[in-house]
């Protein structure tokens, strides 16, 4: 009963509620609830290439590959249709150049993960060794997000992190997720959504009561002055905006605004 009890404690602590709790009791301790509260859906409009849709640029221009004029497109950055969290590191993974020094960094999706580059030359170098560069990126993401990671238990099993040896740090779409063992990592890969929902709930439970700002980090407007604040979870941190229009401005330079 130890594993079941710890799972129940996570559900109660994160406020998942009685429906999900009943589901766990019905299917047994090794299963996770399949009806977690969905994250607020957020979309932004970006410029992309009709042929090379992996590019997401913040302003009008030409495709870095084929030089075709870019067109407007709507992409999901939070919610059920999201494909990859934003790249929140401050520098280009190839050149090391600070992205806030670039007028318009090139944003590219590679196998479901967003990466930001300072120039087209860096794209070619990255694509020659994506595994090597992702290893470098993942190391930096773990270091960046571990300090504010909100859970001391595994989001899959409910076991304490460290109860089965050192916690396993895994980067999923630019986001750190920590597990008690490699077996839970394998389970997570088969169906990430339930564990991510538990992680999101833990972030809201821990960070919302002590959220340090009363104003929007983009506009400076008081939160609540334009309706309910818009809550966005990025890099395992809660960021609150006065309106959805400010979300795009944040998305243009997420590393800068997180600072």
pLDDT tens profile 47-68: 999 999 899 888 888 898 899 9
Q: Which two tokens stand for residue 20?
A: 């999900």
Domain that holds residue 166: 2-35+148-207
Confidence of residue 76 (pLDDT cuts 50, 70, 90): confident
Helix axes 182-190, 192-207, angle to 10 degrees: 110
User: To the nearest whole number, what is the mean pLDDT of the chain?
Assistant: 85
Q: Which of 169, 187, 207 is the last residue of a domain?
A: 207
CB burial of 69-97 (b: ≥16 within 10 Å; e: otherwise) equals ebeeeebebbeeebebbbbbbbbbbbeeb
Q: Which residue has the higher pLDDT, 75 or 140?
A: 140
Strongest mean pLDDT among 94-103, 176-185, 242-251 = 176-185
Q: Which residue has the higher pLDDT, 243 or 29?
A: 243
Q: Is the pLDDT of residue 17 over 70?
A: no
Beta strands in the chain (DSSP E): 42-48, 71-78, 106-110, 113-117, 168-172, 175-179, 230-234, 237-241
CA distances from 199 to 15, 83, 117, 236 (A): 12, 17, 29, 8
Q: Are residues 118 and 164 in the same domain?
A: no
How many folded domains does the chain comprise?
Answer: 2
Q: Is the pLDDT of residue 90 over 80?
A: yes
Q: Is the pLDDT of residue 102 over 90?
A: no
Q: Are residues 77 and 135 in the same domain?
A: yes
> Is 231 within the bounds of a domain?
no
| Rg over CA atoms, the chain | 19
Q: Is 8 helix (H, G, I), strand (E, B) or coil?
A: helix
> Is 259 within the bounds of a domain?
no
pLDDT of residue 180: 97
Q: Is the pLDDT of residue 28 over 70?
A: no
Share of the chain above pLDDT 90, in %: 64
- Alpha-carbon distance of 17 to 241, in angstroms, equals 26
Q: Is the pLDDT of residue 207 over 90?
A: yes
Q: Which helix (H) or strand (E) holds 22?
A: helix 18-27
pLDDT of residue 185: 97
- Name the least confident of 22-36, 48-62, 160-174, 184-198: 22-36
> Is 101 within the bounds of a domain?
yes
- Alpha-carbon distance of 161 to 237, in angstroms, equals 20
Q: Are residues 55 and 130 in the same domain?
A: yes
Q: What is the pLDDT of residues 32-52, one digit of tens each?
A: 444 434 457 888 999 999 999
Q: Are residues 52 and 105 in the same domain?
A: yes
Q: Are residues 86 and 65 in the same domain?
A: yes
Residues 229, 242 contacting (CB under 8 angstroms): yes
Q: What is the largest CA-CA distance in the chain?
A: 60
Q: Are residues 28 and 51 in the same domain?
A: no
- pTM of this structure: 0.79
- How much is the average pLDDT of 3-9? 43
Confidence of residue 12 (pLDDT cuts 50, 70, 90): very low
Q: Which of 92, 127, 142 is the last residue of a domain?
A: 142
Q: Are residues 16 and 56 in the same domain?
A: no
Q: Are residues 158 and 189 in the same domain?
A: yes
Residues 100, 253 contacting (CB under 8 angstroms): yes
Residues 32, 189 contacting (CB under 8 angstroms): no
pLDDT of residue 39: 58
Q: Is the pLDDT of residue 69 over 90?
A: yes
- Which residue shows structure tokens 């932004």? 44
Q: Are residues 86 and 158 in the same domain?
A: no
- Name the least confident of 43-52, 72-81, 161-170, 176-185: 72-81
pLDDT of residue 195: 95
Q: Is the pLDDT of residue 202 over 80?
A: yes
- How much is the average pLDDT of 9-37? 40
CA dihedral in degrees (13, 216, 48, 136; nearest 10)? -60
């Amino acid at each position: 009963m130890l594993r079941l009890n710890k799972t129940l404690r996570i559900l109660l602590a994160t406020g998942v509620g009685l429906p999900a709790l009943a589901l766990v009791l019905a299917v047994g301790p090794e299963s996770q609830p399949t009806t977690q509260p969905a994250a607020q859906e957020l979309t932004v409009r970006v410029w992309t290439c009709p042929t090379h849709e992996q590019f997401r640029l913040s302003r009008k221009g030409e495709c870095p590959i084929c030089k075709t004029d870019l067109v407007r497109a709507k992409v999901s950055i939070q919610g059920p249709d999201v494909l990859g969290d934003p790249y929140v590191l401050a520098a280009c993974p190839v050149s090391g150049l600070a992205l806030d020094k670039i007028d318009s960094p090139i944003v590219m999706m590679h196998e479901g993960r967003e990466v930001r580059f300072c120039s087209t030359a860096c794209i070619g170098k990255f694509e020659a060794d994506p595994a090597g560069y992702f290893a470098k990126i993942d190391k930096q993401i773990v270091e960046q997000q571990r300090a504010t990671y909100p859970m001391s238990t595994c989001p899959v099993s409910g076991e304490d992190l460290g109860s089965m040896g050192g916690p396993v740090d895994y980067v999923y779409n630019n986001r750190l997720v920590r597990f008690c063992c490699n077996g839970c990592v394998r389970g997570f890969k088969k169906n990430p959504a339930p564990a991510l929902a538990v992680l999101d709930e833990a972030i809201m439970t821990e960070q919302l009561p002590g959220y340090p700002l009363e104003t929007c980090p983009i506009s400076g407007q008081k939160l609540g002055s334009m309706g309910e604040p818009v809550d966005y979870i990025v890099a395992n941190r809660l960021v609150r905006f006065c309106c959805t229009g400010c979300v795009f401005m944040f998305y243009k330079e997420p590393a800068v605004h997180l600072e």
